Amino acid sequence: MPAASPAPFDVTDVLINRELSWLDFNARVLAQAEDESLPAIERARFLAIASRALDEFFQVRVGGLKQLAAGLESAASDPHGPQAQIRAIRLKVVELYTRQARAFLQGVVPHLDSHGIRFSDWSSLDEDDRAFLDKVFEERIFPVLTPLAVDPGHPFPYISSLSLNLMVVVVDPASHEQRIARIKVPPLLSRFVALPDGERFVPIEQVIAAHLHPLFEGMRVLTHHVFRLTRNADYTIDSDEADDLVEAVRAILKERRRSPLVVRLEVGSDMPAEMVDLLARELEIQHQDIYTVSAPLDLGGLFEVCKLDRPDLKYRSWVPVTPPRFAQDLGGSDGDLFRVLREDQILVHHPYDSFEHTVEAFIAQAAEDPAVLAIKQTLYRTSGPVSPIIRSLTRAAEAGKQVVAMVELTARFDEQNNINWAEVLEDAGVHVVYGTVGLKTHAKVTLVVREEAGGIRRYCHIGTGNYNRDTARVYEDLGLLTSDPALGADVGELFNSLTGYSRQARYRKLLVAPDSMRPAVLRLIRRETDRGEAGRIVIKVNNLVDPEMIAALCLASQAGVQVDLIVRSICCLRPGVPGLTENIRVRSLVGRYLEHSRILRFGRDGKDSDYYISSADLMPRNLDRRVEAAVPIRAPELRARLDQILEVNLSDDTLAWELGSDGEWQRAPKGAGVDTQLRLQEVALRRAEGKS
């Protein structure tokens, strides 16, 4: 029955601020560190993840807001402007710092201590331990420290972003004059110094503080205090001036290293007010940007502790399985894997399915197969220092194949790595393309062109995640391997658009941003809206931000369509609002693996449903300012696998959080004890054994 005309509405009535939504996500990550049921080292890992993620949030998101506020005369009074957002951010961040400190001091530290892993204060060490650290300081720490005086003859030094620092107050015994110096802790030093047993650690600032006298010979050390600075890292390339993209990116890296804009100052809780005021003055920072922290600064340093060989304190090990079709044919003669793909499309699901024995094997075999004429691949973030995929591409080029790598230089915080990889590839004879200024290439696609008895055949991989073995072990992602002629032609034309002057806007099967993806997804939402109560939408993404998509989903809800959204991180849509979003449910899963795949399902069942996996989130940047690719999944058995993934996600009551109509997140009510990630491990094992 046709849906009734919806009541008019303003989409802002259901919008949640993007930045505050991200902070809510970080709070869900932090909740894992607070969870007493998790293994001790995993709790420490979640605390490190939350700390580093907050660093990036300040560098990029708060940095961007501060730049925006500086350019707007009305910023201070606008209730929705950048200054208002910065104030709201502070309230949430103060709460996060309180929870981080409590999670570390009252949760992680005693939990690890009960298993023999201890964080020790210098004051609690015995003579043997202190003698050991004396030697460590003399041999490894002292040579790389440089105290910098702060006085009229020595201007306040530049403080690099995210560096740990000590402010030291000394007094001259002759003149009784007090002086101040700053010591930077070089990032090459471990955040926590291990004692000889390898399972006890001392914060490095305490080791340095215990050895300040050699750094200030002839002076008397009065006191010392720790601080840490965060600077803006939100830079964009000027498309009017970027004639050489590589040089433009190098210029941005240089700017980032010497960024003048301070966005956050973290200080130890024992720092006196007069020293905080001094730092605020010298750094030209407002007090609203200063955060007093009672736990050690930079808990991201816990990643080093997480490397301990203590499997008893970590998640049960998981070895990704090799899908049956790959297991049968992987060890065979040249061309076996291609024979498999001529017969079937294969959907791979990482980290449950092995990345090494599927995607890497596909590219490695293409590199070695004499019948392969060309390989083309996008590279956004790849593993290092020795990437198997990079090795395969270089071998293929050296063997005389036509190899093209679309390297995205502007992948944030991976720019230098990608420049380095591009140079390695170019040296091997790979044709390296850097994309278009102002249009980041985020699509995950590979094309292999092979000469066969019946003529040229194209094989391709289209996925939701990066070509990165390291992240494939911890990021949940999907990929389609296929020899479908229409998809092969689409991927070929997409590469022509990326490497040449083609401006392909229409594709046979692919949805490609920034051209066809937005209108196609909106058409699918509107189709379900027209079906009214018979309509059904299930979307799994990392982020839902785009106002036009949110408005379309509101209309679907008003028409009676049941909408389930599985949004890992930022969700700007408030569900359950009467008359607007009452038929929309939003959940987020936070667990061992980072839920990274994007799945879009439109329709209830049968031939009238559409399924896609995509590299794109529903954000303006993905839909309008990036090259993204979504591939339809049409084979019934592959659709059934996607349905299974979505159904498990929607029934989860262990990892899941639910977003309420008040904009607050709560853990899903306990029921059958469904853990999506454990359940999908079981599914992968059964499939490998031929049982499902």
What would the pLDDT profile of 84-101 be if each residue is shown by its tens digit?
999 999 999 999 999 999
340 falls within a domain: yes
Of 313, 346, 375, which marks where a domain is finished? Answer: 313
For residue 689, what pLDDT is reported?
A: 86
Comparing C-alpha atoms, which of 621, 620, 646, 329 is closest to residue 478?
646
DSSP reduced 3-state for 128? helix
Query: Highest-confidence range of 3-17, 150-164, 276-290, 333-347, by mean pLDDT?
Result: 276-290
Distance CA 659, CA 665 (A): 5
**Residue type present at position 561:** V
Of 263, 278, 313, which marks where a domain is finished? Answer: 313
524 falls within a domain: yes
Q: Is 442 a catalytic residue?
A: yes
Q: Which two tokens stand for residue 529?
A: 């809206």
Q: Which domain holds residue 454?
A: 324-499
- In this structure, the answer to whether residues 348 and 407 fall within a common structural domain is yes
pTM for the predicted model, two decimal places = 0.94
Distance CA 441, CA 427 (A): 22
Long-range own/partner contacts, residues 334-337 (CB < 8 A, 24 or more apart): 334/365, 334/368, 334/369, 334/370, 334/371, 335/369, 335/371, 337/361, 337/362, 337/365
* Per-residue CA distances from 589 to 105, 351, 649 (Å): 26, 16, 8
For residue 423, what pLDDT is reported?
A: 85
- In this structure, the answer to whether residues 365 and 433 fall within a common structural domain is yes
- For the four alpha carbons of 460, 464, 467 and 469, in that order, the dihedral sign comes to negative
Q: How many domains does the chain have?
A: 3
Where b means 16+ CB within 10 Å and e means fewer, 436-453 reads ebebbbbbbbbbbbbeee
List the CATH number of the domain containing 242.
3.30.1840.10
Q: Which two tokens stand for residue 212?
A: 């300040």
Of 499, 528, 543, which marks where a domain is finished? Answer: 499
Comparing C-alpha atoms, which of 154, 157, 151, 155 is closest to residue 172?
151
The pLDDT > 70 percentage for the chain reads: 92
- In this structure, the answer to whether residues 293 and 351 fall within a common structural domain is no
**Which of 8-12, 55-59, 397-401, 430-434 comes out lowest in average pLDDT?**
8-12
φ and ψ of 378, to 5 deg: -90, 140
For residue 692, what pLDDT is reported?
A: 65
Comparing C-alpha atoms, which of 431, 492, 498 is closest to residue 457?
492
φ and ψ of 36, to 5 deg: -70, -15
List the CATH number of the domain containing 587.
3.30.870.10
- In this structure, the answer to whether residues 419 and 364 fall within a common structural domain is yes
Distance CA 599, CA 675 (A): 19
- In this structure, the answer to whether residues 477 and 577 fall within a common structural domain is no
Kindly give, in sequence order, each residue whose CB lies less than 8 Å from that of residue 518, ignoring residues fewer than 6 positions away.
Answer: 548, 623, 624
What would the pLDDT profile of 419-475 be if each residue is shown by its tens digit?
888 888 899 899 999 877 678 999 999 999 999 998 999 999 999 999 999 999 999
Q: Which of 224, 442, 461, 596 is catalytic?
A: 442
Q: Which two tokens stand for residue 323?
A: 């899908």
Q: In 10 A of CB 277, how many CB atoms?
A: 12
What would the pLDDT profile of 367-393 be if each residue is shown by its tens digit?
999 999 999 999 988 876 678 999 999
Instruction: Decide if pLDDT at 1 tops 60.
Output: no
- In this structure, the answer to whether residues 306 and 171 fall within a common structural domain is yes
